[in-house]
Structure 1
Amino acid sequence: MIYLIRRLMKPFICLAFVLFGASVNAQVVSVRQIMDKMESYKNFSYRSVNRMKEIFTNDTVTQQNHAVFEKASGDKNWGYLLNIETKKENDQFTSADLYNGQQLIHTDPNDSTYQIQSPQMTGYTLQSTLPGRLKWIQGRLEKGLSKVVKTSDTTINAVDNYHLIVNIKDTLINKEHDYSYVHLYIDKLSGMPDCIIIRSRDMSFGNGATMYYSETRYSDYKFNEDNIDIASITIPKGFHPPKEQPALPKEQTDLLALGSVAPGWTLYTADGKKTSLTRLKGKVVLMDFYFIGCAGCMLSLKPLNNLFEKYKGKNFIIASLTERDSKQSVLDFEKNYRLKYPGYVNAADVVKSYHVKAFPTFYYIDKKGKIANVHVGYGDDFEKNATAIIDDLLKK
C-alpha cells in the first residue's frame, strides 16, 4: 500500500479515520433514543465548540460551529441536508460546508469561492457532526463488537448528565497501553448530548505514543424552526470555483533527474546545529521530505530509525526536512517519537529546489553529491527497498 499526502491536505485527517474506524456494544437504547429524538423533527440545529489537541503536536485548536440539519427522507446516503458554519478562535466566520444531498460544498466567504469536496472529505465532515458520531456509535453497537459502559452521573455547567463511555480499543502494544475511548455526557432533562470527549493513546507510529484529545460541547439546540430556509443549503449567489493557477513549466515540476547534481542547501536542526549538503559530500544521504502529521511520514518513522541504527558509522546520513513545522514542534516531535536522526526546519527553499509536491518524498544522494534515486510516498516495503539502495550506494 502506498501512502502519500498532498501539501494542502489537512494532516489531522489521516488519524481521525483511525480513531473513528474501530468498534463498540450495549446501552443501545440510550444512543438510539437520542437518534430517534433528532430523527423525529423536520429540522434541528445546534451550536458547538470543539477544542482539539493536534494529533502529533502539543498545539490546541479551537473551532466554533453552527450546524443546521433539514430532514431529507429521499437522501439514502445521509438522510439530511445540512449547513455548517465555522468560526475560529478569534470569532471570525471562516467557512461554511453545505451538503445538498449529493455533494459536500465548501464555501469560503473571504474570496467568495466554493469547492466540491472529495468523497473522503465528505465522509469525514459528515461523520464529525453530532448525528454522524451517533450513527457511527449505533452502528458499532448493533454489530456487538464492543461495549458502552454507563459510569457515575456527573454535572456539566450545573446540569445533571448521564455519563457513557464507549470503549473503542484497549490493549497493550510492546507493553505500552494503547487505547481509545469516547465519553458521552447526556443532559438528563433534554436527553441531548452536552459534551462528547475523545481520548486516545496510539502506539502505531514511530517509537512513541500519539496522544489525541478532542472535546466538543453542544448548546442552543433548536427543533422544528419555521425560519429554516432550504435555499440556504445551496451555493451562495456570486460564489465561484477558485481560479486555476497557471501551470508551472515542466522542468519546475518534474522530480530531479537521476545522475544530476543535487541542489545545495544549508539548514539548521531544530536544536540549532548547522549543516550543509556540501559538508556531507563523501557520504550517502537519504533526504526525507516530511511534515508532522501526514500518514506516510508517520509510518516511515520506525523504518527510518531502523536504517539509522543499521548504518550508524558507515558513511550514511538521514536528513529529514520540513518546510512548515516550527522548531519547538519538531523538538517535541523528535522527543515523543524517540527519533535518532536529525530534523531540519525552515526548508521551504529546499522543498522548492527539489520539486517536492507530495509527502513523504525520499531522495537518495550518492557520495559524489548526485541524485541516485527518488521515491514519492510510503510503501510497506520501504525499509527493504531503502536497504537495497543504500547498500548499493555504499559499495561505490
Structure 2
Amino acid sequence: MKVKFLIYNVLFTTALLSFSQYKHPSKNRDELNQRIKEHREQYKINPPKSKTEEILRAENLTGLALGTAFPKLNYRSTNDEHFKFDSLYGKLVVVNFWFVGCVGCKLEEDNLKKLVQHFSGNRDIKFIGLSRSDLEKTSNYLNKHGDFGYEVLCVDDSKVYDQAFNILTFPSHMILDDEGFVIKNFTLPIYDQEVLEAYIKELESLLSNLD
C-alpha cells in the first residue's frame, strides 16, 4: 500500500511541476492546492480498490463543470487551418489537454497511441489533443517527436486557453457527449496498462449509451 501511495504522489507531483511552468492567478493556485490536499488525504483514508475507481476519483479536480457546453473558440490545426469543433457533433469526443515540455504529458504519449489504436475502427469516437503551446512550438514538437494519435489543435492565445477551459494541471482529460457537452473530466496521466484499460472500459461504456 505504501508503494502504491508513493506512485500516486509522484504522479501528482509531476502534474504540479507541469502546473508550475506557467502562471495562473493566485486564487486558482490556492484552489488547486486545496483540491490536491483533500484528494491525497482521502486517498490515505480510503485507497481506491481499482484503477477505474482511481480515474473516477480524479474527476473534477480541474476543468469545466459537467454539463457545460464545450467552448467555441478559434481552433487551428497544426497545418494552420481553421477547425470547427461543432463538426464533431454526433460523436463521443475525447479531449487531451497538454503542452510542450509537460513531463506528465510525455509520460502518457505511448498509451494515448494505444488508446486511439483500440478505437481505430469506431467512427463514433474522436480524439482531440488541445495544446496550450502556440501553433509554431506545437508543430515543431510534433515534427521532431511524432504525434500521439490525437488530432492536435491550438488556440490563439494561452490566456484564452486558461480562461476557457480552467485546466490547472496537465495532462488533463475531458470527454464530451455527442452534442458537445462535458460529461467527464479528470486529471491523471494514463501512466500504465491498468489505467489505460480502465479508461478504455469507461469509453466503451459511454459509447454504448450513444443514441
> Do the structures match in fold with TM over 0.5?
yes
Instruction: Report the Cα offset of residue 318 of structure 1.
Output: 1.4
Candidates 151, 162, 171, aligned match of 1:351: 162
SS of the counterpart of 2:116? helix
Q: What does the per-residue CA deviation read over 1:110-131, in whole Å, with 9 as the maximum and x for residues that have no partner?
A: xxxxxxxxxxxxxxxxxxxxxx
**Structure 2 segments unaligned to the other structure (5+ residues):** 1-6, 32-60
SS of the counterpart of 1:285? strand
Residues 1:342 and 1:255: Cα distance change in structure 2 (over 3 Å): closer
**Structure 1 segments unaligned to the other structure (5+ residues):** 11-244
Q: What does the per-residue CA deviation read over 1:187-211, in whole Å, with 9 as the maximum and x for residues that have no partner?
A: xxxxxxxxxxxxxxxxxxxxxxxxx
Is 1:286–1:365's contact at 8 Å kept on the other side of the alignment? yes
Candidates 338, 342, 347, aligned match of 2:146: 338
CA distance, structure 2, for counterparts of residue 330 and residue 322 of structure 1: 7
Is 1:358–1:377's contact at 8 Å kept on the other side of the alignment? no
Instruction: Report the Cα offset of residue 367 of structure 1.
Output: 1.3
Is 1:289–1:360's contact at 8 Å kept on the other side of the alignment? yes
Instruction: Give the equivalent residue in structure 2 for 1:8.
Output: 20
Candidates 102, 126, 130, aligned match of 1:317: 126
Is 1:289–1:351's contact at 8 Å kept on the other side of the alignment? no
Instruction: Give the equivalent residue in structure 1 for 2:204.
Output: 391
Is 2:63–2:168's contact at 8 Å kept on the other side of the alignment? no
Residues 1:393 and 1:266: Cα distance change in structure 2 (over 3 Å): farther
Q: What does the per-residue CA deviation read over 1:322-360, in whole Å, with 9 as the maximum and x for residues that have no partner?
A: 222442x32232233332322212363243212111111
Identity %: 18
CA distance, structure 2, for counterparts of residue 254 and residue 359 of structure 1: 10
Instruction: Report the Cα offset of residue 280 of structure 1.
Output: 0.7
Q: What does the per-residue CA deviation read over 1:131-183, in whole Å, with 9 as the maximum and x for residues that have no partner?
A: xxxxxxxxxxxxxxxxxxxxxxxxxxxxxxxxxxxxxxxxxxxxxxxxxxxxx
Instruction: Report the Cα offset of residue 274 of structure 1.
Output: 2.3
CA distance, structure 2, for counterparts of residue 374 and residue 254 of structure 1: 8
Is 1:287–1:320's contact at 8 Å kept on the other side of the alignment? yes
Q: What does the per-residue CA deviation read over 1:217-264, in whole Å, with 9 as the maximum and x for residues that have no partner?
A: xxxxxxxxxxxxxxxxxxxxxxxxxxxx6636x8xx963222333233
Aligned residues: 159
Is 2:62–2:168's contact at 8 Å kept on the other side of the alignment? no
CA distance, structure 2, for counterparts of residue 258 and residue 346 of structure 1: 22
Is 2:95–2:173's contact at 8 Å kept on the other side of the alignment? yes
CA distance, structure 2, for counterparts of residue 371 and residue 254 of structure 1: 13
Residues 1:246 and 1:309: Cα distance change in structure 2 (over 3 Å): closer
The alignment's C-alpha RMSD in Å is 2.7
Structure with the larger RCO, 1 or 2 (CA within 8 Å, 6+ apart)? 2
Instruction: Give the equivalent residue in structure 2 for 1:292.
Output: 100
What amino acid maps onto 2:27 in structure 1?
Answer: A
Residues 1:246 and 1:357: Cα distance change in structure 2 (over 3 Å): closer
SS of the counterpart of 1:303? helix
Instruction: Give the equivalent residue in structure 1 for 2:54.
Output: none
Instruction: Report the Cα offset of residue 313 of structure 1.
Output: 4.0
Is 2:135–2:154's contact at 8 Å kept on the other side of the alignment? yes
Instruction: Give the equivalent residue in structure 2 for 1:153.
Output: none
CA distance, structure 2, for counterparts of residue 360 and residue 301 of structure 1: 10
Structure that is richer in strand per residue: 1
CA distance, structure 2, for counterparts of residue 246 and residue 333 of structure 1: 30
Is 2:77–2:154's contact at 8 Å kept on the other side of the alignment? yes
Large movers: runs of 4+ above 6 Å: none
Residues 1:370 and 1:346: Cα distance change in structure 2 (over 3 Å): closer
Q: What does the per-residue CA deviation read over 1:366-387, in whole Å, with 9 as the maximum and x for residues that have no partner?
A: 1121212111131434422321
Is 1:362–1:376's contact at 8 Å kept on the other side of the alignment? yes
Instruction: Give the equivalent residue in structure 1 for 2:177.
Output: 366
Candidates 254, 260, 272, aligned match of 2:68: 260
What amino acid maps onto 1:258 in structure 2?
Answer: L
Taking the TM superposition and a 5 Å limit, the aligned residue runs for 1:147-162 are none
What amino acid maps onto 2:129 in structure 1?
Answer: S
Instruction: Report the Cα offset of residue 296 of structure 1.
Output: 0.8
